[in-house]
Amino acid sequence: MGFGAQFSLIASATLLVTPVIVARESGMDESYLIWMVFASLVVVGVSTLLQVHRIGPIGGGAVLPMFTAAFSIPFCITAVEDGGPALLTTLVLVSAVVQLIISKWLVILRRIVTPIVGGTVMMILSITLASVVFALLDRASEVDPTAAPLTALATLVVVAALTLRGSAIWRLWGPLIGIVIGCAVAAGFGIYDVDRLLDAPWIGLPEGAPGLSFDFGISFWTLLPAFLFLGVIVSIQANGEAISAQRVSWRDNRAVDFRQVQGTLAGTGICNVFAALAGAVPNAINPAIVAFTQTTGVASRRIGYCIGLIFISVAFLPKVSALLSTLPGPVMTGYLIMVTGNLFAEGARTVIQAEQNRQKVVVAGVCFWIGAAFQFGLFNLPDVHPVLGAMLKSGITTGGLAAIVMILYLEFTNPRRMRFESRLDVEALPELNEFIARFSQRRGWSSAMKERLSAVAEETLLTLAPPDFLGLDGDDDGEELSPPKEERRLIVIAASEGPVADLEFIGGGNDANVEDRLRQLQQHDSETPVEQELSLKLLRSYASSVKHQQFHDTDIITVRVTPPDA
């Protein structure tokens, strides 16, 4: 309860920045602002409980608190301005559907929904959000040309100082401390309006909801690409946070469980369905939870339950939610400037760390400037259809589509991958060896490399095909005792990068992770291996790296093989 209350307090100061800015800047009345605050708190609380508890394949089963997505601010404002709450509901629901599709078909979409695309769109999102942030500051400066910039500067300086140079504890509390000091400076200048806080009751419900309706007009088709990309970004962000949460939550070093990652993505999609139906803004996983877990050393799911229940409780306390939603505009500006910088840096880090291919890194840089050029209108656009013209003015749409097109171009112009498919059975080994021989011959590799690839393919097949796939169940006389099990298929995709070969084995059904088993074998090399471990030991000696990704009903083992003389 103590850790749950601590994290809730850390997150509360910035949780309502997104719905408050969307409600204010879209020109809606006070009742809409009150509803957005209430709905956001309830949705975040319920969504956090869903991620923690996990219902079937939905939810990460870990402490993964949800948070309002600040990078969605400019698009949510445009949606409410153009079509009202109905349009926002429709677009957030479409974005949620994208997340559910990605979670379901992550195995298939992993070559398109890549870190390169996600990182590029994140960088473009930073400049899109920056345009809204500084417009917010300009409007505040019109009221008081001195107080507004100084308040924003004070907030930014405190948040930046604690985030950049503070200890792990101070970095967690940095945004909250900066906002509190910013509010104090705003109060000193007389620009902190506390009337709504004083008028709010202690306990109550909003007087009215905006109502649930859907809008598929011209504005919908104009903003659709941006919200589709938002769905992709939320999914990529959830993917990264789920992996990071696993790594900091486990006591021992183990391979990432992508079934849990899929559950996290599905949970995020369902959470945004809730957000859409409630008329709230899109949600994403709060990235501060990874640092919080590292700092406290506690990853118990009880913390997540406490966080979710606290947010739901606060939603029914209008006095507390009014305190969180009456932040002055300059204070939110100072905080969001730091968010904008972090968003750009996170996008760049995603691109550079996830991709060693120089051509793909160049794609990210080129597409970022394509998005920036269209976002800021650096050239005159030709007269086209109104819907197409509105799409071209969006940096997210133009830069994101350019990134996908260029990545697909690189994929299709790479040395052609070779594909092999058969039943997942050791009896497929002769055909698999023939496939490996053809692959080596086309690449012009030596017989030693061909033999090493064949050995890797054999040991991987023996590792991937469990005993119950080796044939029918029967007695010693050959009489069948049970019907044959459902046939599993094996797909092998062979690719190369210079003299290095990458073999991707796609099958399914294993409970144990090959990476973990290899790591355990390495720790006990002095012991005599049992028969089942022999293939793993041989595989470890032949391959330079082995990666095992376990999805629902699908296993992907990626083996990298270098030449014997390398």
pLDDT digits (tens, 9 = 90+) for 300-354: 889 889 999 999 998 888 877 777 777 787 887 888 888 788 778 877 877 777 6
Residue 97 has pLDDT above 50, yes or no: yes
> Does the structure show a pLDDT above 50 at 389?
yes
Most confident stretch, 78-82, 124-128, 131-135, 483-487: 78-82
pLDDT score of 146: 82
Percent of the chain exceeding pLDDT 90 equals 7
Could you tell me the CA-to-CA distances from 455 to 308, 352, 373 in Å, in that order? 51, 33, 52
Tell me the torsion sign for CA atoms 139, 144, 150, 152. Answer: negative
In the chain, where are the structural domains located? 2-411, 418-468+486-561
| Res 45 pLDDT > 90 | yes
How does residue 69 score in pLDDT terms, banded at 50, 70 and 90? confident
Please state, in angstroms and as integers, the Cα–Cα distance from residue 50 to each residue in 4, 460, 564, following that order.
16, 37, 50
Q: Which CATH number fits domain 418-468+486-561: 3.40.190.10, 3.30.1330.10, 3.30.565.10, 1.20.210.10?
A: 3.30.565.10
Question: What pLDDT is attached to residue 539?
Answer: 64
Angstrom distance (rounded) from CA 362 to CA 360: 5
**pLDDT band with cut points at 50, 70 and 90 for residue 49:** very high
Among 60, 400, 354, 446, residue whose Cα is nearest residue 226: 400
Confidence of residue 271 (pLDDT cuts 50, 70, 90): very high
CB 116 within 8 A of CB 354: yes
Answer yes or no: is pLDDT of 27 > 60. Answer: yes
The secondary structure of 275-311, three-state, reads HHHHCCCCEEECCHHHHHHHHHCCCCHHHHHHHHHHH
46, pLDDT greater than 90: yes
Region of poorest pLDDT, from 140-154, 269-283, 509-523: 509-523
- Taking CA atoms, 20 is separated from 14, 30, 44, 292, 510, in Å, by 10, 10, 15, 26, 48
**Proportion of the chain above pLDDT 70, given as a percent:** 80
* Phi, psi angles (nearest 5°) of residue 495: -140, 170
Report the run of H or E that residue 444 belongs to, with start and end: none
Of residues 232 and 383, the one with the higher pLDDT is 232
Q: Report, as an integer, the average pLDDT of 25-44.
A: 86
Residue 269: band (very low, low, confident or very high) from pLDDT cuts 50, 70, 90? very high
pTM of this prediction?
Answer: 0.70
